[in-house]
Amino acid sequence: MGIPFTSAPIAFFLALDHGISFAASASVGILLGTISQAIFCLAYSFSASRGVRWLASFGFGCVGFAASTVVLHLLSVPLFSASLATLIALVVVLFLVPHTPEKSDESASPATLPPRWDIPTRMVVATVFVVLLTAVAPVLGAYLSGLLSSFPLFGAVLVVFVHRSEGATSAMKLLGGLLFGLFAPAGFFMALCALIEALGIGLGFAAASATALVAQGITLGML
């Protein structure tokens, strides 16, 4: 779920609607927003590891994301500093996130299949999120729009479902995978920020996608 299924389309539409420079500035915000995604995972994992139910754990994750976004919004850093801060933050969070217990989660409910409306609902929610954030981007500004577009929409939906159906241990394992997956979108937006103004939209996004695939391959190899 680290693949930027929502933030990359948002950056693409921002480039089409408001120009390459606007998209480049937004991409710096999206890159730093990866830190907020990691904080979401960390806050959710800590609460879940202490027996907190899924709704409260989701709330703690959202508060963590919001607090990180507020702090990052106060900063104005160039691409190199943003890239370095993002990579350091991801590594630190990976060390801080609680380890999943080896024993099975006795409080978990039996695994269940999602209802038939689950996938269509996710598609609608994701589409509305992309369209809405793209529409209000001129009001919010490029940088803040980028920070907000990093909200882990798909990851949040999945972890809540897994937490409800399979328990806290499975949810924590999913979040651990999401954390490792965040190196791919980080690489994507590092490349996009650096290259989109020089290469244009098509080649810029192609180079960013290739960078994300390489980062994802390295991460999977390490795992």
In this structure, is residue 162 part of a structural domain? yes
Q: Is residue 82 part of a domain?
A: yes
Does any domain span residue 13?
yes
Residue 186 covered by a domain? no
Residue located via tokens 């963590």: 64
User: What DSSP string runs through 183-196?
Assistant: HHHHHHHHHHHHHH
> What is the extent of the structural domain holding 122?
7-95+117-181
Percent of the chain's residues with pLDDT above 90 = 42
Q: Is residue 46 part of a domain?
A: yes
Measured CA to CA, the distance from residue 190 to residue 84 in angstroms comes to: 10
Q: How do residues 83-100 score in pLDDT, each as one tens digit?
A: 999 999 999 999 999 887
**Using alpha carbons only, how large is the chain's radius of gyration in Å?**
17
CB 29, CB 210: distance < 8 Å? no
In a domain? residue 207: no
Q: Mean per-residue pLDDT for 119-135?
A: 79
pLDDT, tens only, 139-174:
888 888 888 888 888 888 888 888 988 888 999 999
- Asked if residue 100 is part of any domain, the answer here is no
| pLDDT number for residue 2 | 67
Residue 205 lies in a domain: no
Reported confidence tier of residue 20, pLDDT bands at 50, 70, 90: very high
Number of folded domains that form the chain: 1
